[in-house]
Amino acid sequence: MSDQTSSFAFVRTEQLAPQAPPAAAVGPVKWVRENLFSSIPYSILTMLALYCIYLILSGFLPWAMNGVWNTANIRECREILEGATGGCFSVLSERWNQLIFGVAYDQSQYWRPTLAFILLFIAAAPVLFPALPRQMLIFTGLYPFLAFYLIWGGTILAPIMVLVGCIVGYLVYSRLVSGSFAAGFFGGFAAAVVTWWVGGYIVGAIAPEQTMLSAVPSREMGGFMLNMILGVVCVSLSLPIGIALALGRQSDMPIIKWICVIFIEFVRGVPLITLLFVASVVLAYFMPPGTNFDLILRVIIMITMFSAAYIAEVIRGGLAALPRGQYEAADSLGLDYPQAMRLIILPQALKISIPGIVNVAVGLFKDTTLVSVISMFDLVGMIRGPILSSTDWNGVYWELWAFAILLFFVVCYGISQYSQWLERQLATDHR
Amino acid sequence: MTTLTDPPQESFRPSMLINDTRYRSYTFQFIALIVLIGAIAYLLSNLFANLAAAGLNISYGFLHEPAGYDVQQTLIEYTSQSSHLRAAWVGILNTLLVAFLACLTATVLGVIAGVLRLSNNWLVSKLMSAYVEAFRNVPVLIWILVINTIVITMPAPRAYRGETPDAEMFLGLIAYTNRGVYIPAPTWGPGSGFVALVFLASIAAIFMYRRYAVRQLYDRGRDLPTFWPSLAILFVPTLLVYFIMGRPVGIEVPALQGFNFQGGTQIGRPLIALWLALSVYTGAFIAENVRAGIQAVSKGQTEAAFSLGLRPNRVMNLVVLPQALRVIIPPLISQYLNITKNSSLAIAVGYADVTATLGGITLNQTGRALECILLLMLFYLTISLLISAVMNVYNQSVSLKER
């Protein structure tokens, strides 16, 4: 044995240590080679992209970094800049209140919409995040009345009376619903309407002259606040209406089905702007002579109709995507139509439709800027109207538009990221 | 032995209208119909009461009265003496023009961005997602106004004047001013019709050649090249005829005369703002549709095609694209519909589309709000119903033929 080994010149007895990989195949270099310069066309693309980024940054950075934040008007700002590149961001700090709250809203009352805005997050949290304690939903239920009282002010009895009407309606509904859903629904609805009707007289009779929060007329709403009000109110109102329309469109009853189909197709076929024109010039013709109700309310009605039709189509997609077996299983359990819908069909269909609904909500929030066309002063209306036409800030375009873009981007991107997160949470199918 | 018999036929009782599912739906529909008719009657009675109180009536006679206002950019002949109906037609054509242009550019932009977003190049795909997210999440109205502002801050025509002008025309052909962009226009000399005819004929010849190549491939197994011959057929005959006929087709370059550019074609500022904004905004949505469509083709399809020995471009053309298009085209068509509807935002930058003429100036001048808005809605409804009809036909033609 030992002879044989000695006959070889050299035998390595231990294993070689592994060599380090070539420098080009490891670490950041490898990443760059694979992801940026894997072939000649890709390298050209990368260079082009780098050039684009350079162009954007070289224009944007000096403008943003060299900005002026505290001058009273554009002339002072230009004096400070002395011809150098830089943004006059002082328009934002000087006109901040106008951009956010509009021109007319009373300065001393700014805390009210601000508080309503902060409370909105607390109210929305339990709806958005299922992990939070369910008791928080009570606050969510109270929030609409609270927010209305905070923003519009006036007598506190009015929102309380509306709330009482809702509670009475719910009590009647829960008493009657064991008999049949239809009886419960219509009974509850009738009870609520009766309460509001009676309550209207009572509030009118006993409302005090002096109220704790002064009443703010709707035409004083403006700025980004108006976009938020329209967006939040219209999305939350259009969701139930959209569900009802979608169910109506799937219904076996031809008359109800055709009413829903015509409504949905009509609203989806025309641009929102024409509906806003209807709100601003035509709707008054259809009201009893002498009535004169708020432009903001008319706009809310129209935008709600608009988004309800879109949400209905999204939910119809969800309903159609459910396997037929789910409907048949509900039937075979002996559930009637409302029970089957509430317990089996809608929970699944709504889950499927969440991304679509969020898309509609984002689109709707973006579309609230259209009210500036019918001369309401939302964020875009404020920028185009009072601010750009003022002598102080005539000519400060980019700072204002950048602010508007940033504001909308943050909100809409946030919502869409939330919807992607929720989709992952709700993905119960095993892949 | 028992036999099943039908339960004895019950006689109809009124309570069955509520409690019996067979009749209940009739009750509901009847109630719904009554409520609907009642609501419509109520609204109409209000309408007639209001109209009577204001001394108005519903009539479309105003359409034939002279409009009395000017429109900047028109495709058909129009003067301020033309009727309101003519103004509405001008608006309709302008709407269709901007919608058509925006559909074209948005598709190109969207396809490029969607494909690049899937690229393995990290930087490019990140840049494309930044584009998509930035434009999707900001209202289109803001983009229209921003691009309008960009055009406004371009040099005025007088900047092109003098020995050392402040601004120069791009390649000596295109002038961009704060009033719009001036591009060269073709001039048609005698004999240019023949050149155009040859050009159209060579386009037809390309299709015939391609069909011939496919037939050769299927029947004989001969794989003819298609790219270079197509290019040759497209250009060679047309250029030959162009020079033989003595160069009848020329271009007219815009030139500065007085305070403004003359000659060439002017693309007005509002049209540019609307066109570009709608293109980049909708392009971001189309990019997402394209990406989703390509990702919807399962990886096994690509792998199967490769294992058959197909080359990469054939895999794309023959296997991936036909399947991806089935997913891409329906949302693409509804994006076209969105462009058409969003073009109504023209009113914000003063482009004379149908919303601005019929629903804007005509409405304000005549005070016929009801009639104008009704006509406006009818126009948009017709367009959207037409587009959804096209979509239905397409969906039926590409739907998977199952069993």
Nearest CA in chain B to A407: B138
| Nearest C-alpha neighbor of A186 from the set B41, B14, B27 | B27
Chain A residues whose beta carbon lies within 8 Å of the beta carbon of residue B385: 265, 269
Q: What pLDDT does residue A335 have?
A: 87
- Kindly tell me if the per-residue pLDDT of B81 is higher than 70: yes
> How many Cβ atoms sit within 10 Å of the Cβ of residue B308?
11
Query: Best of B47, B120, B123 to disrupt the A interface by mutation (most A CBs within 10 Å)?
Result: B123
Alpha helices in A154-294 (DSSP H): 157-176, 181-206, 223-249, 254-269, 272-277
Instruction: Please answer whether residues A163 and A145 qualify as being in contact, where contact means their C-beta atoms are separated by less than 8 angstroms.
Output: yes
| Residue B261, SS3 per DSSP | strand
Q: How many domains does chain B have?
A: 1
Chain A residues whose beta carbon lies within 8 Å of the beta carbon of residue B341: 270-272
Q: Give the whole-angstrom CA distance, residue A17 versus residue A8.
A: 23
The pLDDT tens digits for A187-202 are: 888 888 998 888 888 8
Q: How high does pLDDT run on average in chain A?
A: 86
Whether residues A259 and B36 touch (CB distance < 8 A) is answered with yes
Nearest CA in chain A to B339: A271
| Residue B267, SS3 per DSSP | strand
| Nearest C-alpha neighbor of A213 from the set A145, A162, A147, A156 | A156
Count of CB pairs separated by less than 8 Å, A with B = 154
Domain ranges of chain A: 25-63, 96-105+222-426, 155-212
Structure tokens at A354: 């969440």
The residues facing B83 across adjacent strands are: B66
- Kindly tell me if the per-residue pLDDT of B296 is higher than 90: no
The pLDDT tens digits for A86-110 are: 788 888 888 888 888 888 887 888 8
| All residues at 6 or more sequence positions from A204 whose CB lies less than 8 Å from its CB, including other chains | none
Instruction: Please answer whether residues B332 and B283 qualify as being in contact, where contact means their C-beta atoms are separated by less than 8 angstroms.
Output: no
How many Å lie between the alpha carbon of B325 and the closest alpha carbon of chain A?
21
> How far from the centroid of its chain's Cα atoms is residue B338's Cα?
8
> How far from the centroid of its chain's Cα atoms is residue A270's Cα?
22
Instruction: Please answer whether residues B141 and B150 qualify as being in contact, where contact means their C-beta atoms are separated by less than 8 angstroms.
Output: no
- Kindly tell me if the per-residue pLDDT of A2 is higher than 60: no
Q: What pLDDT does residue A128 have?
A: 82
In a domain, B49, yes or no: no
Percent of chain A at pLDDT exceeding 90: 21
The pLDDT tens digits for A126-158 are: 888 888 888 888 888 888 888 888 888 877 888
Query: What share of residues in chain A are helix, strand, coil (percent, to 5)?
Result: 75, 0, 25
Query: Best of A270, A292, A293, A400 to disrupt the B interface by mutation (most B CBs within 10 Å)?
Result: A270
Lowest mean pLDDT segment, chosen from A207-216, B263-272, B341-350: A207-216
A259–chain B Cβ distance below 8 A for any pair: yes
| Cross-chain CB nearest to B142 (options A268, A274, A380) | A380
Mean pLDDT across A388-402: 85
DSSP state of A281: I
Q: What pLDDT does residue B163 have?
A: 67
Rounded to 5°, angle at Cα A402 from A396 and A404: 105
Report field, pTM of the whole predicted structure over 0.80: yes
For chain A, what is the total number of helices (H) and then of strands (E)? 19, 0
- Kindly tell me if the per-residue pLDDT of A63 is higher than 70: yes
Q: What pLDDT does residue B380 have?
A: 92
Q: What pLDDT does residue A387 have?
A: 86
Whether residues A384 and B145 touch (CB distance < 8 A) is answered with yes
Q: What pLDDT does residue B194 have?
A: 81
The pLDDT tens digits for A232-264 are: 999 999 999 999 999 999 888 888 899 999 999
Q: Give the whole-angstrom CA distance, residue A86 versus residue A60.
A: 9
Q: What pLDDT does residue B278 have?
A: 94
> How many Cβ atoms sit within 10 Å of the Cβ of residue B231?
11
Whether residues B146 and A405 touch (CB distance < 8 A) is answered with yes
DSSP state of A133: -
Q: Give the whole-angstrom CA distance, residue B92 versus residue B81.
A: 18
Chain B residues whose beta carbon lies within 8 Å of the beta carbon of residue A269: 380-381, 383-385
| Cross-chain CB nearest to A270 (options B25, B348, B377) | B377
> How many Cβ atoms sit within 10 Å of the Cβ of residue A165?
20
Mean pLDDT across A100-123: 86
Q: Which residues of B362-376 are buried (b: 16+ CB within 10 A; e: fewer)?
A: bbeebebbbbbbbbb
The pLDDT tens digits for B34-78 are: 999 999 999 899 888 888 887 777 778 778 888 778 787 777 888
Q: Give the whole-angstrom CA distance, residue B157 versus residue A33.
A: 48
Structure tokens at B89: 């037609």
Q: Give the whole-angstrom CA distance, residue B27 versus residue A112.
A: 48
Q: What pLDDT does residue A238 have?
A: 93
Instruction: Please answer whether residues B279 and B106 qualify as being in contact, where contact means their C-beta atoms are separated by less than 8 angstroms.
Output: yes
**Residue B303, domain extent:** 84-184+253-397
pLDDT band at B248 (very low <50, low <70, confident <90, very high): confident
Q: What pLDDT does residue A369 have?
A: 92
Alpha helices in B118-191 (DSSP H): 122-136, 140-152
Higher pLDDT, A80 or A209: A80
pLDDT band at B348 (very low <50, low <70, confident <90, very high): confident
For residue A397, which phi and psi values (nearest 5 degrees)?
-85, -55
For residue B297, which phi and psi values (nearest 5 degrees)?
-75, 120
Helix (H) or strand (E) holding B293: helix B269-296
pLDDT band at B10 (very low <50, low <70, confident <90, very high): low
Distances (CA, A) of A313 to A62, A241, A268, B281, B322: 47, 12, 9, 23, 27
Instruction: Please answer whether residues A251 and A405 qualify as being in contact, where contact means their C-beta atoms are separated by less than 8 angstroms.
Output: no
- Kindly tell me if the per-residue pLDDT of B400 is higher than 70: no
Chain B residues whose beta carbon lies within 8 Å of the beta carbon of residue A254: 29
ipTM of the prediction = 0.87
The pLDDT tens digits for A263-319 are: 999 999 999 999 998 888 888 888 887 777 788 888 999 999 999 999 999 999 889
- Helical packing angle, B84-117 and B122-136, nearest 10°: 150
DSSP state of A288: P
| All residues at 6 or more sequence positions from A69 whose CB lies less than 8 Å from its CB, including other chains | A89, A90, A92, A93
Q: Give the whole-angstrom CA distance, residue B342 versus residue A376.
A: 19
pLDDT band at B7 (very low <50, low <70, confident <90, very high): low
Cα diameter, chain A:
121
CATH 1.10.3720.10 assigned to A96-105+222-426 = yes
pLDDT band at B231 (very low <50, low <70, confident <90, very high): confident
- Kindly tell me if the per-residue pLDDT of A405 is higher than 90: yes
The CATH number that applies at residue B101 is 1.10.3720.10
- Kindly tell me if the per-residue pLDDT of A204 is higher than 80: no
Structure tokens at A330: 């509900």
Higher pLDDT, B402 or A343: A343
Rounded to 5°, angle at Cα B307 from B305 and B311: 60
- Kindly tell me if the per-residue pLDDT of B357 is higher than 90: no
Q: What pLDDT does residue A198 have?
A: 87
Rounded to 5°, angle at Cα A179 from A173 and B24: 105
In a domain, B175, yes or no: yes
Q: Which of residues 53-92 of A touch B (CB under 8 A)?
A: 53
How many Å lie between the alpha carbon of B181 and the closest alpha carbon of chain A?
21
